[in-house]
Amino acid sequence: MTTTAVTGLLPIILIFLLGRTKGIIGEDPQTLCPFNQSVVVTANENGTYIFEDSEIPSNLVFTTSWQNATTEMRVCICKIKRCLPVCSSDIAETYNLLKDKDIDAVCTKNITLNNGTTAEMNLMTDFHRVVKPLECPDENWSYLNPDIGEEINYTLYENGDLLDKFQNKHMEFCFDIEFQEWNGIPYFFMDPKVCYPPEFYWDEVITGCGMLVSVPFFLLSIVFYSCASMRVSVHAKCMVPYLGSLAVSYSLSGFLKLSSVELPELECVTMGYVNYFCVTSYLIWNCIISYDVWYKCTRVVMKASSRFLRYSILGSVVPLAMTALTYAAQNSEIQESLLPGINAERCSIDTGSWSALIYLYGPCIAALTFSIVLYVHVLYYMRECERSTQVSRDTLMLSVRLFILMCSSWLCDVISYFLKMFWQNILLYMIPDILNAMQGIVIFYLCVCQRRKLRAMDRRRRGQVTSIEFTTLVSS
């Protein structure tokens, strides 16, 4: 190599060596180790550093000013001692308190060493504790705590890693003291709290999207029935609050299924009770519309205005009373398994427990039974009475469509609930859930997208008719 070439390489070599030197003597302390993995040390007269009878290499010591306080010497303790992440700084105080009261706290664990062998160590004395609380939502963390006498379900390594045997992967964790009771005897264990990534519930995403897609179709159907609602069109007037309750309920439910926002307690609980009121409201209006079909087909029709007034009172008072009773139950001292479950964690009725059968699905089954009985009676009445072929066909189509329209959604919801309770197969209950979520499109198609109805609406727009007949609105 010529002298010129060597001379040209010298600046490059010098820059490289300066960079390496800077990494040793002038590196940012945070690149040496995280602050919580360092401890304060004091230099001896001979220039060495000692921490708990351990001599500290000078290259692991750095100077820092913590929170603008006085300058102090710190050492990366985890580079010379075994470190164990703990969830809080008071774990040592808790451990000493238990010892003072002669309460045994089980802190010995089998540790897998770097050479592959295992050794029993005390987590409080053989490890340096590093405070590292889990940054994890409450619903995503849990203890890896096998029951007393069972095999440990994790592996703790000497370097501080932890392997979840069930998940077969290393987890973010911290150790904490946990209480267990066995045969009436209290036990305290040091167990790891692990943070699991939030689960992706794709079934919730699909049904949530379906609900939000249905909302515009509910609103379009409301516009149609509002335009059609004239002096004697009680059915159209009843459909407006029914669809309005569906629109609000589906909007709230879709938001809760898709959103990851943690709502404040007041907003969350308020949303839960508003949603419950809307659900019970369209349930009651379902019964009212079924009753109105039965009444119109089997009796002399009373004055439309007084009939709708009675319906409106019933459709408002009953859902309000059911919501008030549910609120009272949630804030009572009954056993937890009987609570509705509307709280800051859920924002809705707990449909994953049997208590939902009391507050939601029980009334739903009763309403379904009521509607089915009325429709069967209507069909029986049609068969017994002598009517013109056209009227019979129109009334039959009216009954069949209303039954499909009103009852199929609730039937799907009930079926989905029992499938979730008895069979944990997502494919089984996804079918009724999707059908229920897409109810807005079905209603819009059955009630609005019919040529006969659109022609009637067009005639009314031109002033050729002053109202749209009951059978025109529902049957075609």
Give the Å distances, CA to CA, from 204 to 22, 138, 242, 291, 429: 53, 20, 24, 34, 11
Give the best-scoring range by mean pLDDT among 83-92, 139-148, 186-195, 266-275.
Answer: 266-275
User: Residue 192 pLDDT > 70, yes or no?
Assistant: yes
Give the pLDDT band (50/70/90) at residue 284: very high
For residues 72 and 205, the model is more confident at 205
pLDDT at 306: 78
Q: Are 410 and 286 in contact (CB under 8 A)?
A: yes
Query: Does pLDDT of 11 surpass 70?
Result: no
Region 168-183: mean pLDDT is 74
Q: Cβ distance 69 to 102 under 8 Å?
A: no
462 or 123: which leads in pLDDT: 123
Characterize 321-358 residue by residue with b for buried, 16 or more Cβ atoms within 10 angstroms of its Cβ, and e for exposed. ebbeebbebbeeeeeeeebbbbeeebbbbbbebebbbb
**Span 258-282, average pLDDT:** 88
What is d(CA 440, CA 405) in angstroms, rounded to the nearest whole number?
10
> Which residues have a Cβ under 8 Å from the Cβ of 466 and sit 6 or more positions away?
230, 460
The whole-number pLDDT of residue 218 equals: 92
Backbone angles phi, psi at 286, to 5 degrees: -60, -45
Q: CA–CA separation, 382 vs 393, rounded Å?
A: 10
pLDDT class of 150 with cuts at 50, 70, 90: low
- % the chain with pLDDT above 90: 11
pLDDT, position 468: 46
Calculate mean pLDDT across residues 189-216.
Answer: 81
- Chain-centroid distance, C-alpha 78: 38
Strands 54-56 and 49-51: antiparallel
pLDDT digit string, tens, across residues 359-415: 988 888 898 888 888 878 877 777 666 554 444 555 556 556 666 666 777 777 787
Q: Which of 17-21, 282-286, 469-473 has the highest mean pLDDT?
A: 282-286
Q: 44 falls in which pLDDT band (50, 70, 90)?
A: confident
Structure tokens at 308: 């709708």
Structure-token pair, residue 109: 């664990």
Q: Which residue has the tokens 């102090």?
A: 72
Which of the pair, 199 or 365, is modelled with greater confidence? Answer: 365
Cβ neighbours for 234, distance < 8 A, ≥ 6 positions apart: 292, 304, 307, 308, 311, 470
Q: 189-226 b/e with 16+ CB inside 10 Å = b?
A: bbbbbbbeeeeeeeeeeebbbbbbebbebbebbbebbe
Per-residue pLDDT, 281: 93
**C-alpha dist (Å) from residue 14 to 3, 25, 117:** 17, 16, 45
Nearest by Cα to 75 from 52, 93, 57, 95: 57
User: pLDDT band at 457, cuts 50/70/90?
Assistant: low
Average pLDDT value for the chain: 75
Highest mean pLDDT among 3-12, 72-81, 232-241, 325-334: 325-334
* pLDDT, position 4: 44
